């Protein structure tokens, strides 16, 4: 099965997947498994250093996903 993150995942869930699979980028999918964007490990690392920020995935939406 392909590895993908759900839009409602927490930062901790995504970090666990990045660490376990040793990857640096994940596709993000919605509830119907449609691709909606990408999340990069550097985005998550920068957020973990900023207390008080939201704890959901900050994914990027590439133009071809619109």
- pLDDT (tens digit per residue) in 11-52: 888 889 999 999 999 999 999 999 998 988 887 777 765 665
> Which among 27, 29, 59 has a CA at the least distance from the CA of 43?
59
Distances (CA, A) of 65 to 41, 56, 61: 20, 20, 6
Longest Cα separation, the chain:
34
Q: Tell me what the mean pLDDT of segment 2-19 comes to.
A: 90
Q: Which residue has the higher pLDDT, 27 or 65?
A: 27
> How remote is the C-alpha of 28 from its chain's centroid?
6
The structure's pTM equals 0.71
């Amino acid at each position: 099965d392909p590895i993908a993150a759900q839009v409602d995942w927490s930062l901790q869930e995504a970090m666990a997947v990045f660490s376990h699979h040793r990857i640096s980028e994940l596709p993000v999918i919605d509830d119907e498994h449609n691709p909606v964007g990408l999340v990069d490990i550097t985005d998550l690392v920068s957020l973990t250093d900023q207390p008080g920020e939201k704890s959901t995935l900050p994914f990027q939406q590439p133009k071809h996903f619109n």
